[in-house]
Structure 1
Amino acid sequence: MINVMVVDDSAVVRQVVQEVLRQHPDIRVIATASDPIFALAQMQKQWPDVLLLDVEMPRMDGITFLRQIMKQHPTPTVICSSLTEKGAQITMDALEAGAVSIITKPQIGVGSFLRDSEDELASAIRAAAAANPRRLNQPMVAPKLTADAILAAPGPRAAMARTTDHFVAIGVSTGGTQALECVLPALPRTSPGIVIVQHMPERFTRSFAERLNGLSEIEVKEAATGDRIYPGRALIAPGGKHTLVKRNGAQYVVEVVEGPLVSRHRPSVDVLFRSVAKSAGPNALGIIMTGMGDDGARGMKEMFDAGAKTLAQDEASCVVYGMPKEAIRHGGVNDSLGLEKIPAAIVAYGR
């Protein structure tokens, strides 16, 4: 049983969340609160397994509350935030403070939205409950389609000859915002180009890329069709679309495309990794990091089979050891590394 506390100043949100979660026997709402001050008082009586937390609330904002909780008693937290430009930046602050994931809600019709998003809400809570609380405050259901829905699998002779132009492809999900904030700022401008799929909703990836760009020596930007992959640059797949790598003469570029959910995600790591297997083969390094589920496991095996070097984040440094574990189970991983060793591995590959 996963015990959940809902902290939101909207009575509608508190009521509807309780209503929809009653349909899931493994999840129980043990308390609700209209602001963090009320929440703290109730948490002293029974500490929840997962917090569902709004950001903008009276008396204390959600980010201040989250930072306080993460210092005293790290608790898996799902942010429930409105999709506004201001809200996107605030939510990035919350993720940096240690939140596990985001549920986006509209500014109007929130009750209907939450009812329609029942499975997404329940899945986010289960993912949060599976997180490793010790890692949360450290820096650092649709049909399950495969990457076949976006592009065909690489053939047996798809691997290309090695070239001087090479790059890194990274896939990450739950806990990834903190992990990427450990990896990218540690890279020099001479590091190889990077393409990243971080599971994140539409309109949040741009703010996330801007945050990382401000922290890093390398350039970090939200990917757009035609963007070239080159040393000293990291491209983050935009939320709500798939990102593929294609070869353009002697260079590699990205293409951002529409399409269905793949492995229940858009963007999907499987789609990115398959495109890398097809277009780059041994000219790429694949890295799969913290996250729930198995998105990227099949694509990493395809990269491995195409001659790419592949790495997985180790269990001890993951918030959720789901995606790396599945990639290893599929037989597509050369080696596992702690989070703190991944930047050096990227730099070494660039040499």
Structure 2
Amino acid sequence: MIRVLVVDDSATMRSLISAVLGKDPEIEVVGQAADPYEAREAIKALNPDVITLDVEMPNMNGIDFLEKIMRLRPMPVVMVSTLTTRGAEITLEALEIGAVDCVAKPSTGGLEGFRELPGKVKAAARARVRPLDRTAGAPAPARIAHEPDGRLIAIGSSTGGVEALIAILSRFPDNCPPTVITQHMPEGFTRSFAERLDRLCAPRVEEASDGALLDVGRVFVAPGGLNHLEVAGGTRLRCRVAPGEPVNGHRPSVDVLFSSVAKAVGPRAVGAILTGMGRDGARGLLEMRESGARTVGQDEASCVVYGMPKAAFELGAVERQAPLEKIASELLKAASPQIVENV
């Protein structure tokens, strides 16, 4: 049984979360807390496996409390956020600090909005949680010596992907090859995520829009919600953002992105599959490798959840496994052989 502590200042929301989790036979809600001070005592008394944590609470906000947890007693945390710009920004900061995943609060009440929560709690229970290290930082990226020759980088990620993508893109120079990313994330969060990456990284990062040109120095993040991100075109590559049914339970899906890259870009592409739960991306990455693309998988030791990279590796889709801190270098070398060597 996975023992869960539910932390939220709303009694109604605590009851709702507890009811959703209580329906899963593998999960036991062992306690509830209305604020971080109650939560601190409950953690000491109950020793839960996972905490669900409200983003905004009285007395001490969720970010300050999460920082204390990750410094003093690292453990898996799933953030529960409101579907607002402010809620999204705080949640993304929490994921950078070390929260494993996030889920959006239902906007209209009822259990349907929390249907993904039990799965995310179970994934969090298996996650590798590391102590918070505010001193770690990426080296300054070097510019690529020669402009990329029509090559493209495609990245797929899920649980743990926010921290992983920041680690990779912060090592990309401002003239990196055009890059497309599908990160599993709730609707309404991806725009804030792209804006945060844009502030932190040298390339221009934005949420993908239909028809956007894939130019040097530009990075596009698939919008969460109703659409998939694909790559289309021949000599002039563009983003295609279009509705579709969920694939592998996800929309946007990494498999959809990778499959489109295999067809549109073939051997001029480089693909990477990062930390995440499940199998999404494995078959698409195999299509990329079979089309002549270079492929990289994040290694088990550096993953928060070694699910997606493992599935891809076992399928034969991964040409090379690498620790997170080496993936940027692997991608840039494969996409631009003439790079300056300090990435």
On the 8 A contact 1:135/1:317 being kept in 2, the answer is: no
Q: 1:101 to 1:137 in 2, by over 3 A?
A: farther
Q: Which residue of 2 aligns with 1:116?
A: 112
Cα offsets for 1:184-235 (capped at 9, x unmatched): 0111123211100010011101111111111111111111111111221111
Q: Which residue of 2 aligns with 1:229?
A: 214
Q: Which residue of 2 aligns with 1:167?
A: 152
Shift of 1:247: 1.5
Q: Which residue of 1 aligns with 2:97?
A: 97
Provide the secondary structure at the position in 1 that maps to 2:237. strand
On the 8 A contact 2:298/2:323 being kept in 1, the answer is: yes
1:201 equivalent to 2:191? Answer: no
Q: Which residue of 1 aligns with 2:127?
A: 131
Provide the secondary structure at the position in 1 that maps to 2:223. coil
Q: Which residue of 2 aligns with 1:334?
A: 319
Shift of 1:260: 1.3
d(CA) in 1 for partners of 2:21, 2:193: 30
Shift of 1:46: 2.1
On the 8 A contact 2:70/2:131 being kept in 1, the answer is: no
1:188 equivalent to 2:184? Answer: no
1:275 equivalent to 2:264? Answer: no
Q: 1:119 to 1:136 in 2, by over 3 A?
A: farther
- Gap regions ≥5 residues in structure 1: 141-162
Supply the AA of the counterpart residue of 1:311: V
Shift of 1:137: 6.4
- Gap regions ≥5 residues in structure 2: 138-147, 338-343
1:321 equivalent to 2:313? Answer: no
Q: 1:135 to 1:331 in 2, by over 3 A?
A: farther
Could you say what the CA RMSD is over the residues aligned between the two structures, in angstroms? 1.6
Q: Which residue of 1 aligns with 2:79?
A: 79
d(CA) in 2 for partners of 1:258, 1:23: 32
Q: 1:137 to 1:9 in 2, by over 3 A?
A: farther
On the 8 A contact 1:100/1:136 being kept in 2, the answer is: no
On the 8 A contact 2:179/2:220 being kept in 1, the answer is: yes
d(CA) in 1 for partners of 2:131, 2:302: 7
Supply the AA of the counterpart residue of 1:95: L
Shift of 1:127: 1.2
On the 8 A contact 1:99/1:136 being kept in 2, the answer is: no
Shift of 1:133: 1.4
d(CA) in 2 for partners of 1:226, 1:304: 26
Provide the secondary structure at the position in 2 that maps to 1:134. coil
Q: What TM-score, normalized to structure 1?
A: 0.89
Q: Which residue of 2 aligns with 1:44?
A: 44
Residue of 205, 224, 229 corresponding to 1:243: 229
On the 8 A contact 2:161/2:274 being kept in 1, the answer is: yes
On the 8 A contact 2:67/2:132 being kept in 1, the answer is: no
Shift of 1:19: 2.0
On the 8 A contact 1:135/1:319 being kept in 2, the answer is: no
On the 8 A contact 2:177/2:217 being kept in 1, the answer is: yes
Percent of aligned positions with the same letter in both sequences?
Answer: 48
Shift of 1:3: 0.7
Provide the secondary structure at the position in 2 that maps to 1:86. helix
d(CA) in 2 for partners of 1:187, 1:247: 24
Shift of 1:348: 1.1
Supply the AA of the counterpart residue of 2:188: R
Q: 1:342 to 1:97 in 2, by over 3 A?
A: same
Shift of 1:347: 2.1
d(CA) in 2 for partners of 1:279, 1:26: 43
Provide the secondary structure at the position in 1 that maps to 2:249. coil
d(CA) in 1 for partners of 2:37, 2:314: 45
Q: 1:61 to 1:217 in 2, by over 3 A?
A: same
Cα offsets for 1:80-103 (capped at 9, x unmatched): 111012211121111122111111
